[in-house]
């Protein structure tokens, strides 16, 4: 894990959802983040649909 690459700098969690849904798109997760697939797919998605926002893991929120 580290800083976002140029290709992924505008990437949002919602980009990993199925079109028109708040369910994970398993194929997309596998193709983009294979090393994190199990971890990502174990996270329950929000039913209320909170906004995506950028965070940096090394700084306190």
Per-residue pLDDT of the chain in tens (61 residues, 90 and over written 9)? 566 677 777 788 888 999 998 899 999 999 988 999 999 999 998 888 777 777 666 656 5
- pTM of structure: 0.68
The pLDDT value recorded for residue 61 is 55
The pLDDT value recorded for residue 2 is 62
Alpha helical stretches, state H, 1-61: 26-32, 37-41
The pLDDT value recorded for residue 59 is 57
The two tokens of residue 25 are 């798109």
The pLDDT value recorded for residue 30 is 94
User: Residue 25, class by beta-carbon neighbours within 10 Å (0-12 exposed, 13-18 middle, 19+ buried)?
Assistant: middle
């Amino acid at each position: 894990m580290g800083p976002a690459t140029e290709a992924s700098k505008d990437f949002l969690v919602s980009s990993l959802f199925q079109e028109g849904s708040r369910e994970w798109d398993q194929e997309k997760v596998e193709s983009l983040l294979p090393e994190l697939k199990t971890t990502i797919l174990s996270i329950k998605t929000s039913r209320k649909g909170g906004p995506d926002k950028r965070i940096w893991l090394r700084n306190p929120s």
